[in-house]
Amino acid sequence: MSGSGEFAEFLPAYLAEADELLASAQKDLLAVEEAVRKGQAQPRAVRELFRALHTLKGLSAMVDVEPVVSLSHWMEASLRLADQAGGRLPESSVEPLVEGLRAIELRVRQLGAGKAASPAPANLLERLEALGPQVRDAAPRRARAVKLDAEAAFASRLAPSEREQLEGGLAGGQRALRLDFVPSAERAAKGLNINTVRERVAKLADIVKVLPLSGAAAGGASLAFALLIITRAEDAALLDAVGGPPAVVRSLEAPAPEEGPSSDAAPDAGGLPGGAILEEELDEPEVRRGGGLLRVEVSRLDEAMEWLAALVVNRSRLTRAVAALTQAGAPTRELNAILQENGRQLRDLRSAILRLRMVRVGDVLERLPLLVRGLRRATGKAVRLELDVGDAELDKAVADRLLPALVHLVRNAVDHALESPEERQAAGKPPEGLVRLTCHTRASAQLELTLRDDGRGVDANTVAKAANAPVPDSADALLDLLCRPGLSTRQEVTRTSGRGMGMDIVRRIVVEQLGGELRMDTRKGVGTTFTVFVPLTVTLMDAIVFECAGRRYAVAVGTVEELIDVVGVVRPAGADGVGLVERRGAAVPLVSLARLLDASVDPGAVGQGAKALIVRQRGEPVAFAVDRLVGQQEIVLRPLEDPLVRVPGVAGATDLGDGQPTLVLDLGALGAARAGRRKRAPRSGEWVT
C-alpha cells in the first residue's frame, strides 16, 4: 500500500475481496486457455474474467494499491476488446495474462503480510499494454453464417459476446432457445421463483442472458422472464424445469437469411411479443455474486470458538460438581435435568459455530489447476488434472494447513510420477498423463482425499539407493523412506523438485499437525495413489477418556474403530510389550499402552479383564490395552505448538473440568514412534517385527 496507513482500516476487507476475485479470475483464465487451445470462443469466461479484474482495479484504487491498479488496468483493457470480439483471445495473450494474475496475487500477499506492495514490473506492464492490438487483430472479420432471430433474442439487449455465444452454440450443433418463465402464486408455493428456476435450467442448459418482461407476457401475466439459453435438452425437460405452461420455448435461429434490414438492427422493444423489456436487466453473474452472504473475519470466529471452549470446560466442571452432590446425598434431580438440557444447547451451539467455519473443499483446491498449468510448462509434460470433490466441507483451520500438503503431492505427481509424452506412448499409454483428486466425508467425522496418477509408479530400488537403506518390502515401508527428511531421488535441484522436502512436509502436516493418516499404494508402470485422512475440525471434538498407568488420557472418537474386552489372548505381551488378542476369529496385535508410555512398566501386566481400543495403523487393526474406560466427553483440543514439548503420538492437551491438563493421544502415531519405524499386522494375523 503506497500510503502511510491511511487506508489500514479497510485492508482486511480489501484482502478478503481480492482473494475471492483472484480465485474466480484464475478459474476463468484456465477456461479461456482451454478454449484458445481448441480454437474456440469462450464469451462467458472472458466476460467474467473482465468483470473480476475491473472490480479488483476499482477496489485497489479505493485503498491506493497502485501496482495492482496498473496491472489490472491493462489486463481488463485487452479483455474488454476480447469481449467485444465475441470472447476470442489470441494464444499469445494467455501467458502474459497468467503472469499478470500471479503478479497481482504476489502483491496482495505482500499486503496481507504487512508489507508494502512492490512496484509492478515495467516489462510485464509493457507486454500487457501490447495485448490490445493483438486481440484486435485476432478478432473475426465477418459475422458467422448462422443468424439469430433478432426479435426473439432481443438483439438490442445482447452484447457482442452474448450474440457470439448464442451463434457459436448453433454452429456447434446445439440449440439456441428463448425459454419464458411466468411466475405465479401457485408456482411460488411449490418453491418455483426466478432464482430456483435459474438453478434448474442451469443443469440442462448454458444460460446466456435473463431478461425480465413487463406488459402482455405469456399467459396474460403482468410479469415474466425470458431466459436465453444454449442446450441439447428436449423441450419437455426445459418446460418441466420452469413449471410447465404457460411457459413457452422459442428457437432463436432465424428461419432463413433475408434481404433487407440487418438482423442486428434494434427492434422496438415495446412491440415485442411476450412483453416489453424492463429497463433493469437481470444479468445472471452479477445477481448471484454475494447474494445473502456475510463476510466475517476468521479472528472473530476464533474468538467465538474460544468462548465456546470455555463453556465446554465449565460444563465439565459443573458435571463433576453435580456428581459430587449426588454422591453426598443431595437432591440433584432438577440440576441433572438442567445439565442435560445445557449439554444439548452447547452441542447445538458447537454445530452452528463449526458450520460457520466450514469452507468448501472445492474452494480450497481451486488454485491447483493453475499450479498444474505452470508445472506443465516447466516440465514439458502433457497433464490433465481432474477434481471430483463434490460439496464436501472442511474447517478453515484444517483447510489452511492441508493445502500445502496437497500442493506437494500434486507437484510430485507431475514432476516425478508422470512420464514424458514420448515415454508414455512407448509404454502404450496416452501421451497426456492424468492426475485425479477425489474426496468425500466419512462417517467418523473425517475427510478422505485420494490423489491418483497413471504414471510410472515409485521404484523401491531407486528410493532405497537414495536413502542408503535396504529395499523396502511393503508400501508402508516404502512410504516411510519417501518421507525421510532431505530425501530426494533427483540428483540436481530444479524449479520444482530436488530439495528433499516434499513428502517430509506432507507427513508432518497430515500426521503430526492434523492427527490424520497418510497411505500409499503404487504399482510399477500403472501409477501411484496417495490417500489422506484428516479430521474435519481440530478444535472441538468428542473424545474417549480412559485411565492408564494411574493417569487419565483422551483419544478422538473418530480415530477409534472399536472398544473391546481383552479376552481370548492368543499370545501374552512379551518383552517388547506386544502380544496377540483374538477379535472375531482373527488375531490382532495387542500393544500395552502403559508400556509405550513408561518403559519401566512390566509388559506382562496386560492380561484378562483389561480394555483395549482398536485403531487403524496403516490400514491394519491394532489394539491398545488400557486399564479402565472412563467414558465419552466433548473436549477442547489445545495443540502443543512449542517444538520443545511436542512429542510424537501426543496430539495436544485438554481440560476435563478438573483444572488438570490431560494429554490427548494419537495412538497410531504413538505406536509408530515406539520403535522409530512403522510396524504392520498382515491380514493372516501373524505379527511381523
**pLDDT one-digit tens code per residue, 92-144:** 888 888 888 889 988 888 888 888 888 888 888 888 888 888 777 766 554 44
Asked if the bond preceding 121 is cis, omega within 30° of 0, the reply is: no
**Cell matching residue 364:** 480450497
SS3 state of residue 389:
coil
422-433 pLDDT, tens digit each:
999 998 999 999
What is the pLDDT confidence band of residue 434, given thresholds at 50, 70 and 90?
A: very high
- pLDDT surpasses 90 at 528: yes
Name, of 220-224, 258-262, 506-510, 617-621, the range with top average pLDDT. Answer: 506-510
Higher pLDDT among residues 280 and 195, named by residue: 195
pLDDT at res. 284: 38
Higher pLDDT among residues 287 and 462, named by residue: 462
Higher pLDDT among residues 605 and 422, named by residue: 422
Q: Residue type for 293, please? A: L
Least confident of 36-40, 139-143, 560-564: 139-143
Distances (CA, A) of 418 to 143, 152, 460, 528: 43, 51, 16, 10
pLDDT at res. 453: 93
pLDDT at res. 646: 65
SS3 state of residue 655:
strand
Mean pLDDT, residues 173-191:
81
Element (H, E) at 487: none
pLDDT at res. 637: 78
SS3 state of residue 583:
strand
Mean pLDDT, residues 650-668:
80
What is the pLDDT confidence band of residue 150, given thresholds at 50, 70 and 90?
A: low
Helices (H), strands (E): how many in the chain? 23, 23
pLDDT at res. 206: 82
Mean pLDDT, residues 67-88:
81
Q: Which residues lie across from 449 on neighbouring strands?
A: 439, 532
User: Distance (Å, rounded) from C-alpha 167 to C-alpha 146?
Assistant: 6
What is the pLDDT confidence band of residue 289, given thresholds at 50, 70 and 90?
A: very low
pLDDT at res. 277: 43
Class of domain 540-674: mainly beta
Q: Which residues lie across from 231 on neighbouring strands?
A: 175, 205
Name, of 88-102, 297-311, 447-461, 649-663, the range with top average pLDDT. Answer: 447-461
What is the pLDDT confidence band of residue 8, given thresholds at 50, 70 and 90?
A: low
- pLDDT surpasses 80 at 147: no
pLDDT at res. 235: 85
Least confident of 26-35, 169-178, 369-378, 407-416: 169-178
- pLDDT surpasses 60 at 663: yes
- pLDDT surpasses 90 at 500: no
User: Distance (Å, rounded) from C-alpha 542 to C-alpha 548?
Assistant: 19
Q: Which fold has domain 365-535?
A: Heat Shock Protein 90 (3.30.565)
- pLDDT surpasses 70 at 521: yes
- pLDDT surpasses 70 at 326: yes
Q: Could you tell me which residues come within 8 angstroms of residue 299 by beta carbon, excluding any fewer than 6 positions away?
A: none
Pick the closest to residue 168 from 42, 279, 322, 343 (CA basis): 42
Mean pLDDT, residues 323-330:
89
What is the pLDDT confidence band of residue 603, given thresholds at 50, 70 and 90?
A: low
User: Distance (Å, rounded) from C-alpha 556 to C-alpha 517?
Assistant: 13
Pick the closest to residue 47 from 35, 38, 60 (CA basis): 35
% of the chain at pLDDT higher than 90? 5
Q: Which residues lie across from 560 on neighbouring strands?
A: 615
pLDDT at res. 437: 93
Higher pLDDT among residues 42 and 122, named by residue: 122
User: Distance (Å, rounded) from C-alpha 450 to C-alpha 519?
Assistant: 10
Which spans in 293-420 are helix H?
298-327, 333-357, 361-364, 368-379, 396-412
Least confident of 321-325, 514-518, 588-592, 678-682: 678-682
Distances (CA, A) of 248 to 211, 227, 240, 242, 598: 15, 11, 11, 9, 78
Residue keyed to cell 496498473:
70
What is the pLDDT confidence band of residue 285, given thresholds at 50, 70 and 90?
A: very low
- pLDDT surpasses 60 at 218: no
**Cell matching residue 84:** 467485444
pLDDT at res. 312: 81
**Pairing of the two strands 517-523 and 393-395:** unpaired
How many CB atoms neighbour CB 655 within 10 A? 19
8-138 maps to CATH 1.20.120.160? yes
pLDDT at res. 590: 86
- pLDDT surpasses 90 at 643: no
pLDDT at res. 530: 93
- pLDDT surpasses 60 at 680: no
pLDDT at res. 131: 81
User: Distance (Å, rounded) from C-alpha 302 to C-alpha 445?
Assistant: 20
User: Distance (Å, rounded) from C-alpha 208 to C-alpha 223?
Assistant: 20
Q: Which residues lie across from 552 on neighbouring strands?
A: 547
What is the pLDDT confidence band of residue 617, given thresholds at 50, 70 and 90?
A: confident
Asked whether the beta carbons of 155 and 266 are under 8 A apart, the reply is: yes
- pLDDT surpasses 90 at 451: yes
Element (H, E) at 561: strand 560-565
Asked whether the beta carbons of 557 and 545 are under 8 A apart, the reply is: no
Task: Give me the phi and psi of 350, to 5 degrees please.
Answer: -60, -45
User: Distance (Å, rounded) from C-alpha 374 to C-alpha 239?
Assistant: 44
Mean pLDDT, residues 186-211:
82
295-315 pLDDT, tens digit each:
677 778 878 877 887 888 788
466-476 pLDDT, tens digit each:
888 888 888 88
- pLDDT surpasses 50 at 462: yes
Residue spans of the domains in the chain: they are: 8-138, 150-257+270-285, 299-359, 365-535, 540-674
pLDDT at res. 539: 72
**Cell matching residue 367:** 488454485
Mean pLDDT, residues 549-565:
85
pLDDT at res. 193: 82
